[in-house]
Amino acid sequence: MKLIFFLVNLIIINTTCIVKPKQCLHYLNKKNDVYFSLDLLHNRRCKLHFLLKKNIKNNIYRYKHKNKSRINNINKKNNDNGDDVFSVSEPRLRFAPSPTGYIHVGGCRTFLYNYILSKQMNGKLIFRLEDTDTKRNTEGSLHEMIKDLKWLNLDWDEGIDIGGEYGPYKQSEKIEVYKKIAHDLVDQKRAYLCFCTQDELKEKKERAKLMKKKYIYDRMCRYLNEEIVTTYLIQNKSYTIRFKSPENRKIVLKDILKKEIKEVVNEDFIILRSNNAPTYNFSAAVDDHLMKITHVIRGSEHISNTFKQILILESLNANIPMYAHVPVITDIEKKKLAKGIMNI
């Protein structure tokens, strides 16, 4: 109960995603039912409305979505982006946390958005674990996440604990999959081996800092000829794999909640580390492709990541999901809340 009211009173009131316990309704003449009316994904263009029901007798909260949740102010055939948000035949959404600690308010909010929209569209919600950054992982985090979400009476259709057609749902169990796809991109000339050492990269970063410039990798290894690459491989020289970003091309992001956003990705970013672990943007994009994700709802802090993921998805000839980036959670002074404060 405390968590629910914490969500209602803190999360969404302090962002443009508004949760308002406007009214307490005795609904359908059921004496033991109380409904709270809530609005999510709310701004000038879009609103998701649903009812949160509390069963007073059993003190249980349930989320009523059928015929009660809707997105308003979007013309299905002619919205700002020209996309039909609900036209997907088999909607698939995902919740993809990293096991770095307890689930916080922001994570609960993201899950709730995906949960409600998946129910509204008669789609499926996938719970996958992005755990390839082993240095940040903490023991027991996954168990606590699942326990907290179950306590909130939330569930999912496929995932790490229940399996499904598109598993495994734990990224650390798919390292060879990411490795193969990354090397396939190298063979297709969409990526390349980078032999720059950590010391060399550190020196370049320090030089850029002294010149008060933003560091961007200079693409030195992008233009190595095959003879040099073969020599380095024979010498067992360590390498990463970098994605060949198109030069000066504007990537278009058609966001459900925002206007069309365009950005040039000038950096040849790393997709596979020297220890064969995939980077976040690579593994997330590959999984969205392999798991046939159609909609991605997440925080606006991921917008810069989305452009890179779109490039990766294009290189895989994959369908691009529909994206909705919701505002970050802030305090009264509009400052972003730290994860430590949001831990529940």
30 is a catalytic site residue? no
Task: State how far the Cα of 136 lies from the Cα of 156, in Å rounded to an integer.
Answer: 25
C-alpha separations of 111 from 5, 116, 145, 203, 286 in Å? 16, 9, 11, 41, 21
Please check whether residue 245 is in contact with residue 265, taking contact to mean a CB–CB distance below 8 angstroms.
yes
Please check whether residue 238 is in contact with residue 249, taking contact to mean a CB–CB distance below 8 angstroms.
no
Task: State how far the Cα of 210 lies from the Cα of 267, in Å rounded to an integer.
Answer: 20
Q: Residue 275: CB partners within 8 Å, gap ≥ 6?
A: none
Q: To the nearest 5 percent, what fractions of the chain are helix, strand and coil? A: 35, 20, 45
- What SS3 class is residue 114? helix
Task: State how far the Cα of 290 lies from the Cα of 319, in Å rounded to an integer.
Answer: 10
From 47, 64, 204, 339, the catalytic residue: 339
> Quick one: DSSP state of residue 321?
P
Catalytic residues: 339
